[in-house]
Structure 1
Amino acid sequence: MPGKRTTRTTAAAVAIAATALMPSQASAQPSSDALNTYNDLSRQAEKLHEDHLKAQEDLKAKQGDLDKANADLQRAGQVADKAKADEDLFRGRVDLLTEASFEGARFTQLSALLVSESQQDFLNRMSAMSMIAQDNSEAMGKLSAALDAARKAQAFAQDAQKRAGEATDGAAKLVNDIAAKKSAMDQQVSAARNQYQSLTSPQKAQLANPGDTSPVQVPAGAAGAALEFALAQRGDTYVFGANGPDAWDCSSLMQKAYAAAGVSIPRVTYDQAKLGRAVTRAQVAPGDLIIYYSGQSHVAMAVDNVRAVHASTEGVPVLIANIDSIGPISVIRRVVG
């Protein structure tokens, strides 16, 4: 159970685990065209399933882009409204000051000197001229700032409208893409399930073998906690698109395992293949994610440098297998550490 450290498997259990049945390991399967066909169909269905999940994640991202663009558009409208109000206010002040200048409220120093009746009158007129000039300069500055804010708001609004349009178009395309991928996935899953029904009882029993279920000692830390969770699910059912608690697909098991360790990772294998840092096959350590196939459509978690635990395919429970028996390795990622 998660949360309880267990003892290391015996050498015999390791040997059993290393040769545990895996759908993608031809040497560990009966020589059967029907079984090989089922394995091929299952792998194809899993890739289409991951494609479908990825399209759904992309749609969420596009919806987020659309929501942000619409929020930016609304904010731009509010800024534009304020800028327009400021423009009206300060343009009115500038107009008043301009009108005052035509009515003789503004004079040159010479005209002030000529019409002044005394030295004090001259100083008063000069002071009034200075105040009017200051007011006019301030009003002009604020009018200029308001006009600049209005221009920026308009440009921001145009950009937001463009982004909103692109996000809407992208979302619409993804909706169609999701529908197409879902249809292809359903057909492939149905084909795999139909092929499964053609297998013999011994073949089905061999696929259903849970393999090594003995206690496994895990290291301390987040990687160990994630591995402990994954190991606790041994024997659970594989179902395309399942998210637990008793049925999984390959990537949902990895996501929930690391969530149990307090680490958030993406749902899809393609994104899990970009996590943390890459390590070599020789460097594999408990908790590492091992991504398989050139299309990166399957994932397992390293138990040690030899074994991995994973949700394989329908008809096969969550189990431990030899790392290299699961399929061709695309990349190995260390999520933490």
Structure 2
Amino acid sequence: MTLLVVVWLTAVLAAAPALAAPQRDADNAYQELRRAQDELAAVQIEVSGREAELAATERNLSAALAGSGSTGEALRAARSAAVAARSRVAGFYSGVSAEFRRGREFAVLDNSAPLDYRAALPLLDFVAADQFAEVRAAEESVRQAEFAVTASADALTHAEAARTAAADALAAAGAHREAALRDVEDAQRRVDALSPVGEGDAGNVVRFALAQLGKPYVWGAEGPGSYDCSGLVLAAFRSVGLTVPRTSALQAGVGVPVPRDQVRPGDLVFYYQPVSHVAVVIDESRAVHLSRPGEPVRIADIDAIGPVSGIRRLLR
């Protein structure tokens, strides 16, 4: 009897590594697919952000171009106004006769100058001062317009640089996305090379469950960021349009019973008595499940999860 026990233990221990290695390979393949999908999702968010950033910089560039045009037009108008003001001053003095100018000079030097000349001098000074003030204002407008043109040119330069930087960042993010897509495709090929997970809705239930690998256990959670065991089943079947009860105990009452040796992908395995845990079958030996906090969605041997209390098939 002792010899038979020793032989049995030796056989079990010898077989364990052989069984464990394919399971580790499958776990690694599914985990790598999950990691690649998460990376792709993060990169897609980055790409969307870069696209929005580029759109914003292009709007700023358009505004800067419009501003450059308007400030240039304002400068041309200010220069034209200054030329007109200076021309009016020049015309004012050229319109004063040489005789009147000589009379003004005489009036300054000799109080016996004609009264009409002396009376006209204050008006002449008032008109001249008013026209010179207009010239000074026009020249100040030119200086302000020139400053605005310079500021607008700087803004345009910065907008162009920002647009170029945003375009470069988007191109880099796009390249990153292409690499992430290739990683997902490679990981998916490795998963597809594993034992098939079934066709139709049953296969899609398994694929959904496997896509959640690594997500944390949270009691009462139904996804998408976390699950409990029956919440994962609920979400997996919901993905193919089938509604199942919320708890594992109630889920154990739907579908049809299946013998252990006839289990196939998409079946549900229930554990303990009364039922308190459930897993989704991947193939004849493995299932995907999560059981408690700190233990995320993972693949495990069907018979290693716990004492099987029943297997049910919801999808034929």
Q: TM-score scaled by structure 1? A: 0.47
Structure with higher Rg: it is: 2
Q: Higher helix share goes to which structure?
A: 2
